[in-house]
A = this chain, B = another copy of it.
Amino acid sequence: MPLNFQGVKLAVWGGDARTIVLLEQLVNWGASVQVVGLPVKNFKVTVLAELRETSRDIQALILPVPGVDEQKKIYAVYHDQPLILSAAELTSFPAGLLVFVGVAQPYLKEIAVQTGIELIEIMNLDETAILNSIPSAEGAIQMAMERLPITIHGSYTLVLGFGRTGVTLTRILAAMGAHVTVIARKPAQQARAFEMGVLSADFPELPALMSQADIIFNTVPALILSRSLLEKAAPEVLIIDLASTPGGTDFTAAQELGITAVLAPGLPGRVAPKTAGVILARVIRRILLERLSS
């Protein structure tokens, strides 16, 4: 992939640790960047005090992963004053301005329509989800290692769901020597699990498999690990639930049964913020290069 970012003008509004890493990469690739709301004195960027000072000839605007809340505040962990995004801030840019954001809340979507900007929700891209599955899987394994008196090697492990994160998690766990059984609904998913050298089963077979598990990783965003299933598990089982809040586990039942169950959403930004920032940079670069060259 050519790295020709020389002369590309970008703006970054708000953000967190990931945004700083992203910014560093963009600058390294040659972009000229204007920044509001980040402590980045040592970079070759132009730091602005107000959103409105941003040049109108930028080629894209980068908002933070959590985007803009319903109080119109841009997520900006390093900025003490609120950065308010009103429609007015966006109106004087050229029509079709590219605006990157992790996930857009309804308010941001609304003003995107009003102002004619083009929103790209990075976190909804299949590419981003697959790249983020790597820090998610590693973070989940780290959490398991910290809580277990046994090794991953030789452990009996269930992976519930075989989507982007489930596939990555399975590959790493199997490579580390765990005995993995994938629980997946689609025959094609079970076929892929078989090809990868692990066992697989469908959800109706899960009750019969609970009692042997040392670790259960859930990736399915639905209540899978119900009380009746948890009752079949060994009390020393460990559950790491990677599904987005509220997860796929009956945590109350788990607690009452003395089972350790941990909800672990948003792992990439927490366990590997630098890698998470590099992933954002990689995806934004690809999209920008495609757009700018076409």
Contacts and interface: CB of A to CB of B under 8 A. Distances in A.
Interface stretch (A44-52, A80-88, A89-97, A193-201): A193-201
17 contacts: A126-B186, A126-B187, A126-B191, A131-B191, A131-B195, A133-B195, A134-B195, A138-B151, A138-B176, A142-B142, A149-B273, A149-B274, A149-B275, A150-B274, A153-B197, A154-B275, A171-B196
Interface residues of A, number: 52
A90 B130 CA distance: 48
B272 A151 contact: yes
A188 B142 contact: no
* Copy total for this chain: 4
A168 interface: yes
A195 B153 contact: yes
A1 interface: yes
- The interface residues of chain A, by DSSP majority, are classed as helix
Contact of A191 (B127, B138, B152): B127
B191 A177 contact: no
Contact of A272 (B128, B150, B188, B274): B150
